[in-house]
């Protein structure tokens, strides 16, 4: 039975924790048998999932595209999905969602939550895409916040979260893991690529609202990229939307991107509106030793400074522990499937 999860070319802690968390939870249980697969933590229920004779779904989420054509037939067993939006899209009953599986970190001795007195400092964890054109280290330096690279070793990032007093989270798994470590978190937005559907899918399971603070761009190149996201279908942030609208928008975008012409359109518009301008600005900055980012850094720093003074969100202990108990029961069921 082999764990399936998304592997970023440059690393991403929220996905990379799949490499070891399952063995820590069920030592010696998993192997490399690709005939039987388990979908792990992440937004991975898509048509890109590889074929297998048997699939077990455990705490995975929906957020992009369609599931495999065979999803739901006798070769699939859904133990649980991440949240109610994933369940609705997949046509599953309400008892099939629990919460994100990263909450199980709370049960591992290595990541036992610390008392408030043992924790210190404020950290910012951006979405890994924010590193492509952003200047977030400089923003953090100016705001007096510790920058945590989401592409660092997953255990290193998790320990940073575990030891912080407050987590400023652009990356959704920074908030999920902070909540598991019982550390308050503040949801932030660095670009329109941050996926409202996914955040709502999770926050609904902990009975908290999703009210993110928009940081804005930290560089000219990031600003222009953000403005082009809508054109080539990568805009996922839906300000002020509720669950009903998020589901409706997701379905509409999914249908649009399934059109035969979409792939060619997306490639062309991304080239024209993002890649070429981005390369041009980068070249000009290098040739003339220009810094075109000061205004963006200052503005983002001001917002981040305000964000670090917020009390943050934290799920109710009763709700969190109830979800955790259900996840552990699910793990017990999974352990009997082999």
pLDDT of 218 reads 97
State pLDDT tens for residues 13-34. Answer: 999 999 999 999 999 999 999 9
Distance CA 276, CA 273 (A): 7
Continuous segment of H or E residues that includes residue 213: strand 213-214
DSSP result, 238-286: -TT--HHHHHHHHHHHHHHHTSTTHHHHHHHHHIIIIIHHHHHHHHHHH
Q: Is the pLDDT of residue 227 over 90?
A: yes
Q: Is the pLDDT of residue 102 over 80?
A: yes
pLDDT average, residue stretch 113-126: 97
**Considering the chain, what percentage of its residues have pLDDT values greater than 70?**
100
pLDDT average, residue stretch 292-299: 96
Q: Is the pLDDT of residue 159 over 90?
A: yes
Mean of the per-residue pLDDT values of the chain: 96
Going by C-beta distance under 8 Å and a sequence separation of 6 or more, which residues neighbour residue 189? 170, 212, 213, 214, 215, 237
Residue 201 pLDDT class (50, 70, 90 cuts): very high
Distance CA 110, CA 255 (A): 43
pLDDT of 291 reads 87
pLDDT of 52 reads 96
pLDDT of 290 reads 84
pLDDT of 83 reads 98
Distance CA 239, CA 306 (A): 19
Q: Is the pLDDT of residue 338 over 80?
A: no
pTM (2 decimals)?
0.96
Per-residue DSSP letter, 102: G
Distance CA 136, CA 167 (A): 15
Q: State the alpha helices, DSSP H only, in 18-59.
A: 18-25
pLDDT of 30 reads 95
Q: Is the pLDDT of residue 289 over 90?
A: no
pLDDT of 112 reads 96
Residue 82 pLDDT class (50, 70, 90 cuts): very high
């Amino acid at each position: 039975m082999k764990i399936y999860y998304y592997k970023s070319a440059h690393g991403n802690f929220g996905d990379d924790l799949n490499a070891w968390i399952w063995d820590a939870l069920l030592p010696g249980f998993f192997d490399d048998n690709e005939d039987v697969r388990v979908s792990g933590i992440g937004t991975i229920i898509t048509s890109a999932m590889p074929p297998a004779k048997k699939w077990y779904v455990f705490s995975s989420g929906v957020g992009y595209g369609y599931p495999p054509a065979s999803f739901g037939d006798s070769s699939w067993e859904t133990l649980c999905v991440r949240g109610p939006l994933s369940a609705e899209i997949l046509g599953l009953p309400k008892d099939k969602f629990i919460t994100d599986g990263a909450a199980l970190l709370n049960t591992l001795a290595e990541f036992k939550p610390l008392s408030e007195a043992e924790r210190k400092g404020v950290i910012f964890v951006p979405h890994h895409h924010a590193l492509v054109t952003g200047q977030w280290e400089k923003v953090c330096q100016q705001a007096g916040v510790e920058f945590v690279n989401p592409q660092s070793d997953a255990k290193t990032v998790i320990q940073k979260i575990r030891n912080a007093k407050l987590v400023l989270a652009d990356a959704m798994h920074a908030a999920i893991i902070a909540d598991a470590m019982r550390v308050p978190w503040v949801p932030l937005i660095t670009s329109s690529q941050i996926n409202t559907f996914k955040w709502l899918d999770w926050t609904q399971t902990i009975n908290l609202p999703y009210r993110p603070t928009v940081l804005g761009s930290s560089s000219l190149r990031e600003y222009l990229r953000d403005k082009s996201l809508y054109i080539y279908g990568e805009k996922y942030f839906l300000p002020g939307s509720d669950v009903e609208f998020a589901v409706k928008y997701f379905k509409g975008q999914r249908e649009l991107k399934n059109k035969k012409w979409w792939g060619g359109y997306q490639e062309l518009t991304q080239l024209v509106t993002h890649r070429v301008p981005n390369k041009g600005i980068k070249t000009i900055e290098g040739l003339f030793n220009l810094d075109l980012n000061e205004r963006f850094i200052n503005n983002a720093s001001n917002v981040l400074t305000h964000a670090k003074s917020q009390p943050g969100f934290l799920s109710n202990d009763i709700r969190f522990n109830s979800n955790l108990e259900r996840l552990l029961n699910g793990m017990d069921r999974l352990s009997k499937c082999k």
